[in-house]
Structure 1
Amino acid sequence: MTEVPEVPESPETAEVSVVVTHYDAPDRLALVLAGLAAQTLPADRFEVVVADDGSPVAPVLPPQPYALRLVAQEDDGFRAAAARNLGAAAGTGRVLCFLDGDTVPEPGYLAAVLAETDATAAADLAAPGGTGEVLVVGRRRHADLAGWTPARLSAWFAGTGGAPEELEEPRWLVDGFRWTDDLRAADDESYRWVIAAVLSMHRSLFERVGGFEPSFRAYGGEDWEIANRCWLAGAQLRHVPGAVAWHDGVDFAGREVDRRAVQNAQAATLATLLPSPATRPPGPVWASPLVVVEVDDRGWTPEQALLTMASLLRAGDVGVWLRDGAVAAEGAPLADDPRVRAGEVPAPVLLRCRARVRVTAPVELVEPLADLVARAPVDLPGVRVRHARDLARRGWDGPGPAIADGARRPGDPGAAHRGAAPAGLAPVPHDVALGGLLRARYEAR
């Protein structure tokens, strides 16, 4: 275990906890700490926690005008996500501000983040269903800081020294923020514009969604995954162009690494944790499905349950949880179907699904479930469908928001289907003759 030197305790009154992830790059860390020392936000309003990801030698933290401490974990792969969780747990601030150990904030960075976080939270609380919780992304610019010292950095920020050589800003981020009006027009796929290097959020939101997914052990993807959960939990997303931090070096696209191998590893991990048509191919069964269906099957016959399940499972990326579960018990027809389980839906699954469905009567869907999900909220006899974000902000009985033209929902067949009258349901009677029914359907085809 890396030995951690004693450092002063953080004050209980800090508004912002800055968590800086670090691994074996003390010169770069020194620049980040110097950038934080130059902040216009008074030093008694924030604290800094350096979260070390198992460096061979623990970094030495020089005295700073702000409260500063070090926490560390053992070296067990690239575990930036787990390190951020460790740093967040050690902090006290109501706002968590995550910075990478090679990303230097400009003097106005924390003030801009805090101002946007509080303003957006206040506006959201005044809106119907608002949670008052916000995820903020700063602006990451790029510069060649090789050989720079804290003194040289301080001179640059003070206007008495020259600026570094600026490198190209990643076009994909610039375009993403422009397309979404700095994330004010975010949708289900806007997690793609969230990067952990300049990421901040309310501590209440961080704790409610469970923090970063600690199973990540390779570069990248953990920021998209937590952003997706925050969005589905009802939080607002914002990009703050005035909150600038300078990354030492080029964007990932310009680095001399096997980018295809790294990106393929990211894609494989995200496919299991982020339910989206953009992250996983159709067909396989996933532990975290796109659509979660909760079925109260108490008192149903096996035939009723089987026909109901069959119509639900045709939606594709769906998981069904049964209240009774007799049809999925050992020896029952659906015992070996991994998409059908008995009992409560696990909390991590609920945090990641994009739509939830409640079924309280044995029915067969006449309209495909994917179409119902696309135009949620939908209420039919015995079936209720909600988008996860709408559910988090308005509950099962709250009115659904108007869907903007072009906005898409999981499985969305297109805006032309929105507002169409529901095709309805076919109730499954208690005394259904399953064999005869299936033969009749086959012959009719």
Structure 2
Amino acid sequence: MTAPLVPSVSVVVPHYETPHDLALVLTALELQEHPLDRLEVVVADDGSRRAPDPGDRPYPVRVVRQADEGFRAAAARNLGAAAARGDVLCFLDADTVPEPGYVAAVVRAVAAGADLVVGRRRHADLAATSPEALRAWLSGTGPAPAEFDEPAWLREAYERTDDLATAGDDAYRFVISAVLSTTRRLFEDVGGFEESFSAYGGEDWEFAHRCWLRGAQFRHAPHAVAWHDGPDFAGRTDDARARRSRNVEGLALARFVPGHATRGDALVWAHPDVVVRLDDTGADVAEVVACVRSLLAGSDAGVWLRDGAALAVLEDPRVHGGEPPAAVLGRARYRVDLDRPVVLVGAGLTDLAEVAPVRVGEHLAVHRTRDLHRGETGTAVLDVPGVGADPAAGVDLQRRWGHEDHRRRPRFQRSLRTPFVVTERPTAAP
């Protein structure tokens, strides 16, 4: 019987002006337990003044380059992946040195069903380590460099989620691009990294978020160990710098990753958490307006109208015509399909999303995007007293909204006959 073919692996290394670090990574890759005839390396240079020279290696290695237009690690990774040929794409930062069993551990995780694999990033002082000293250390014949603390928050997250096997929608937060691997199929299905990220951090979480919604199986591979040169970012910066960096990263993430943890409440974003597709064909404009108002109240949602006649009066930036763009669908956690305008009663769209998949009445269904990609499309019928989705037919907006206004209880009230009295501030004595 013929032995199964060992998967081909492409290691993509984004690089910028760090020839010493790159030499260490390329040396460590020579020591991999994975067969070197099934391994290739692509160095993706982000505009260094001088092109990196990988030297002679026992595996194929090529350099691809892009212009220096600022920090563009996401674009560099995409450039490297486009030049790669492997079935598995291993992304390793140029300052992150893999142990000999790194690639083999990733391949085992993929063979066990993982689509996205996160290695274990450890930290050491490699600034003065030569390729020869590194080879001796990793081969067990030389001393190890000084070690820094491992990030506790990552270790605790992997323990809590059984190495991401039981993770939920927040799984993307435990993915770091320095030790990230995916199948080529998954990478191409989600369209690679978002190239608009132009500062340190965030592009790995955004990429992982889309992979999760696509239905990918995540796995942390604790035996896929790689050593980062220097301490964890949080441990090497002062509070003010760390805070600025988190804010830049947080605002970049808020644009693309929905959820209370990334964007809070109340603001309107181009990529909503909930995508609603409403068949408004032949419906009265007032019915559509009432339906849209009901759906958007208190939710991070966007509504796409099949016919769009109501757009003549609706100027809300969350309401659109036609079909949702692929970029929006790929980032929304929930999808809602309506075959006619309805008005929600007793619960908002956010409440329904939290218990999805669910069907309310005959016309409204809420699904999780991840479930749809994994073929898990079953929906329960929500039967809770006071919760429903009533058809909007026959709605009278003036009476409905006037009735709501009449029932409002103002926080304070004053009689028109008793105007506020403004008391002048006493003039100081001379």
The TM-score normalised by the length of structure 1 is 0.86
Structure 2 counterpart of 1:369, from 313, 328, 349: 349
Please give the secondary structure, in 1, of the residue aligned with 2:330: helix
Structure 1 counterpart of 2:306, from 323, 331, 348: 323
Match of 2:203 in 1: 222
CA shift at 1:434, angstroms? Answer: 2.6
Please give the secondary structure, in 2, of the residue aligned with 1:142: strand
The whole-number CA distance in structure 1 between the counterparts of 2:383 and 2:19 is 58
Is residue 59 of structure 1 aligned with residue 39 of structure 2?
no
What are the ranges of 5 or more consecutive residues in structure 2 without an aligned counterpart?
Answer: 1-5, 409-430
Structure 2 counterpart of 1:253, from 222, 228, 234: 234
Please give the secondary structure, in 2, of the residue aligned with 1:372: helix
The whole-number CA distance in structure 1 between the counterparts of 2:7 and 2:267 is 46
Provide closer, same or farther for how the CA distance between residues 14 and 51 of structure 1 changes in structure 2, counting only shifts above 3 A: farther
Structure 1 counterpart of 2:265, from 282, 297, 301: 282
Q: Which runs of structure 2 are paired with 1:17-416 in the superposition (5 Å)?
A: 17-121=10-114, 134-256=115-237, 258-329=241-312, 332=313, 334=314, 336-366=315-345, 367-380=347-360, 381-394=362-375, 398-399=377-378
Please give the secondary structure, in 2, of the residue aligned with 1:293: strand
CA shift at 1:442, angstroms? Answer: 3.6
Provide closer, same or farther for how the CA distance between residues 167 and 437 of structure 1 changes in structure 2, counting only shifts above 3 A: closer
Match of 2:388 in 1: 424
Contact 1:54–1:73 (CA<8 Å) still a contact in 2? Answer: yes
Match of 2:397 in 1: 434
Contact 2:19–2:52 (CA<8 Å) still a contact in 1? Answer: yes
The whole-number CA distance in structure 1 between the counterparts of 2:358 and 2:298 is 16
CA shift at 1:370, angstroms? Answer: 1.1
Offset from partner CA, 1:178-230 (integer Å, 9 cap, x none): 11111011111121110000000011111111100000110000000001110
Offset from partner CA, 1:356-410 (integer Å, 9 cap, x none): 0011112101121111111111123111100111111126xx3269xxxxxxxxx
CA shift at 1:433, angstroms? Answer: 3.0
CA shift at 1:56, angstroms? Answer: 1.0
Offset from partner CA, 1:313-334 (integer Å, 9 cap, x none): 11421111110111113xx1x1
Provide closer, same or farther for how the CA distance between residues 419 and 75 of structure 1 changes in structure 2, counting only shifts above 3 A: farther
Q: Which runs of structure 2 are paired with 1:2-13 in the superposition (5 Å)?
A: none
Please give the secondary structure, in 2, of the residue aligned with 1:394: coil
CA shift at 1:437, angstroms? Answer: 3.2
Contact 1:14–1:47 (CA<8 Å) still a contact in 2? Answer: no
Contact 1:14–1:44 (CA<8 Å) still a contact in 2? Answer: no
Contact 1:110–1:243 (CA<8 Å) still a contact in 2? Answer: yes
Please give the secondary structure, in 1, of the residue aligned with 2:248: helix
CA shift at 1:116, angstroms? Answer: 0.6
The whole-number CA distance in structure 2 between the counterparts of 1:433 and 1:99 is 60
The TM-score normalised by the length of structure 2 is 0.89
Contact 2:125–2:230 (CA<8 Å) still a contact in 1? Answer: yes
The whole-number CA distance in structure 2 between the counterparts of 1:151 and 1:420 is 69
What are the ranges of 5 or more consecutive residues in structure 1 without an aligned counterpart?
Answer: 1-12, 122-133, 402-417
Offset from partner CA, 1:96-132 (integer Å, 9 cap, x none): 10000000000000000001111124xxxxxxxxxxx
Contact 2:299–2:349 (CA<8 Å) still a contact in 1? Answer: no
Please give the secondary structure, in 2, of the residue aligned with 1:352: coil
The whole-number CA distance in structure 2 between the counterparts of 1:103 and 1:90 is 21
Provide closer, same or farther for how the CA distance between residues 375 and 70 of structure 1 changes in structure 2, counting only shifts above 3 A: same
The whole-number CA distance in structure 1 between the counterparts of 2:19 and 2:288 is 61
Provide closer, same or farther for how the CA distance between residues 350 and 293 of structure 1 changes in structure 2, counting only shifts above 3 A: same
CA shift at 1:420, angstroms? Answer: 5.0
Contact 2:339–2:363 (CA<8 Å) still a contact in 1? Answer: yes
Task: Give every structure 1 segment of 4 or more consecutive aligned residues whose post-TM-superposition deviation is greater than 3 Å.
Answer: 418-422, 440-445
CA shift at 1:46, angstroms? Answer: 1.2
Question: Residue type matched to 1:177 in 2?
Answer: Y
CA shift at 1:441, angstroms? Answer: 4.0
CA shift at 1:421, angstroms? Answer: 6.4
Please give the secondary structure, in 1, of the residue aligned with 2:263: coil
User: Alignment identity in percent?
Assistant: 55
Please give the secondary structure, in 1, of the residue aligned with 2:113: helix
The whole-number CA distance in structure 2 between the counterparts of 1:437 and 1:384 is 25
CA shift at 1:263, angstroms? Answer: 1.2
Offset from partner CA, 1:400-441 (integer Å, 9 cap, x none): 69xxxxxxxxxxxxxxxx985682121122x43332333344
The whole-number CA distance in structure 2 between the counterparts of 1:437 and 1:140 is 58
How many equivalent pairs are there? 398
Contact 2:7–2:107 (CA<8 Å) still a contact in 1? Answer: no
Offset from partner CA, 1:58-117 (integer Å, 9 cap, x none): 111111111100001111111100000000000011111000000000000000000111
CA shift at 1:14, angstroms? Answer: 6.8
CA shift at 1:276, angstroms? Answer: 1.5
Provide closer, same or farther for how the CA distance between residues 387 and 315 of structure 1 changes in structure 2, counting only shifts above 3 A: farther
Question: Residue type matched to 1:150 in 2?
Answer: P
Name the Cα RMSD after superposition. 1.7
Q: Which has the larger radius of gyration?
A: 2
Match of 1:130 in 2: none
Please give the secondary structure, in 2, of the residue aligned with 1:310: helix
Contact 2:213–2:373 (CA<8 Å) still a contact in 1? Answer: yes
The whole-number CA distance in structure 2 between the counterparts of 1:327 and 1:45 is 58
